[in-house]
Amino acid sequence: MRVRVATTALGITAALLAVPACSTDTTPDTTSTTSTGTPARADGNGAPLSSAALKKRLLDESDLGSGYLRTPQHPTQHDDVTVVGCPALSELGGDTATGGSLTFPRKAKVTFAYGGSSSEVSEELYSDSANRLSDGIGRIFDAMTGCPTYQVVAGGTPIDMTSQKLTAPHGLGDQQWSQLLTFSTAGQSTVVKQTAIRDGSLLLIVSGSPALVDRHLGKALAKATTAN
């Protein structure tokens, strides 16, 4: 059984995140992200990049190594979503509360499954002015981490949520945010790590299995911020 959870209802991902109800791994991975040095700017003049340009900067199978399979991008399903027990999230409202993407028109996304298991890692790229990116993602992470426990009812399915603010990796980009989310439903739990990094006019969000996020965050930023 797989429960489709609209994590964009909580303000992060651009499409529904598949949460495998069969997973019971609730132990956070504490592996440190290794920085390969200060990456180049997304654009030296700070000009936003087009969606087509962002797509070319996403990770692909050759970047990740063996065992990764790109998953199809499905149209966003706008299930009825209600947030219970977290007024800050409820107040975000609008498209954020119904499974839509972040309100930046220039964007690209890719998702990979690993090793034929339920482990997944997703990469999202957005581009806009530095101030807009910082304000948008900052408000969302503040709202999510400001409520340690709450419930989301998505398409009639109640999902108990816990959130934990993590120390974001230092030395990557201009600003960093990170959190750990636990989705619990039908007696099963899944842990998702989400780390966001703003570098100039580029915003990178890597989400998924904590170990996979830690493993690929540095290379995702390096590729995203290196001009092609």
The answer, yes or no, to whether residue 100 has pLDDT greater than 90, is no
120 strand-pairing partners = 113
* pLDDT for res 38: 38
The answer, yes or no, to whether residue 158 has pLDDT greater than 60, is yes
Q: Once rounded to an integer, what is the mean pLDDT over residues 65-92?
A: 80
Q: What is the mean pLDDT of the chain?
A: 77
Residues in the chain: 228
pLDDT band for position 132 (cuts 50, 70, 90): very high
The answer, yes or no, to whether residue 108 has pLDDT greater than 90, is yes
Helix (H, G, I), strand (E, B) or coil at 111: strand
DSSP 186: T
* pLDDT for res 46: 66
- C-alpha to C-alpha distances, 63 to 10, 67, 68, 215, 216, nearest whole angstrom: 29, 12, 10, 12, 9
* pLDDT for res 115: 85
Query: Higher-confidence residue: 224 or 46?
Result: 224
Residue 142 tokens, joined: 């503040």
Q: Are the C-beta atoms of residues 81 and 157 closer than 8 Å to each other?
A: no
* pLDDT for res 170: 87
With CA atoms as reference, report the closest residue to 159 among 137, 204, 124, 190. 190
Q: What is the share, in percent, of the chain residues with pLDDT greater than 90? A: 45
Q: Once rounded to an integer, what is the mean pLDDT over residues 143-148?
A: 88
Q: What is the pLDDT of residues 114-126, one digit of tens each?
A: 987 778 999 999 9
- C-alpha to C-alpha distances, 179 to 16, 140, 189, 204, nearest whole angstrom: 18, 11, 16, 14
The model carries a pTM of: 0.79
The answer, yes or no, to whether residue 142 has pLDDT greater than 60, is yes
* pLDDT for res 186: 87
* pLDDT for res 130: 94
* pLDDT for res 77: 57
Q: Are the C-beta atoms of residues 196 and 137 closer than 8 Å to each other?
A: yes
The answer, yes or no, to whether residue 12 has pLDDT greater than 80, is no
Burial of 31 (0-12, 13-18, 19+ CB in 10 A): exposed
69 strand-pairing partners = 113
Q: What is the share, in percent, of the chain residues with pLDDT greater than 70? A: 72
Range of lowest pLDDT (26-35, 175-184, 214-223): 26-35
**What are the two backbone dihedrals, phi and then psi, of residue 41, each rounded to the nearest 5 degrees?**
-65, 150
Q: Kind and range of the H or E element at 143? A: helix 130-145
Q: Once rounded to an integer, what is the mean pLDDT over residues 68-86?
A: 77
Q: How far out from the chain centre does Cα 43 lie?
A: 22
